[in-house]
């Protein structure tokens, strides 16, 4: 059975439902990702995956959606 991992990213620039949908769709295409939860209030994106999810790929997907991960 694969291990489930969770990572949380703080993302700048999100302000509406469209932002949530864009990030959810882009990050959802990353290999291994099983769930994406976006919280506009806290600017947090929680990514759950099977096994090890490529952090760089998640960051690139958020960037592709038009938003920036705050380090």
- How big, in percent rounded to 5, are the helix, strand and coil portions of the chain? 30, 35, 30
**What is the count of structural domains for the chain?**
1
Q: Give residue-wise pLDDT tens across range 10-47.
A: 999 999 999 999 999 999 999 999 999 999 999 999 99
Task: List the CATH number of the domain containing 41.
Answer: 3.30.70.100
- In this prediction, residue 52 carries a pLDDT of 85
- In this prediction, residue 51 carries a pLDDT of 86
- Say what the pTM is: 0.93
Q: Are 46 and 8 in contact (CB under 8 A)?
A: yes
- In this prediction, residue 1 carries a pLDDT of 60
Structural domain boundaries, residue 22 = 4-70
Say if residue 2's pLDDT is above 80: no
Q: What whole-number distance in Å separates Cα of residue 20 and Cα of residue 50?
A: 22
- Section 63-71 average pLDDT: 94
């Amino acid at each position: 059975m694969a291990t489930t991992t969770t990572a949380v990213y703080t993302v700048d620039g999100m302000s509406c439902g469209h932002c949530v949908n864009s990030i959810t769709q882009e990050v959802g295409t990353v290999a291994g990702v099983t769930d994406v939860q976006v919280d506009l209030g806290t600017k947090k994106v929680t990514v759950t995956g099977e096994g090890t999810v490529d952090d760089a790929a998640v960051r690139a997907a958020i960037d592709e959606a038009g938003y920036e991960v705050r380090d």
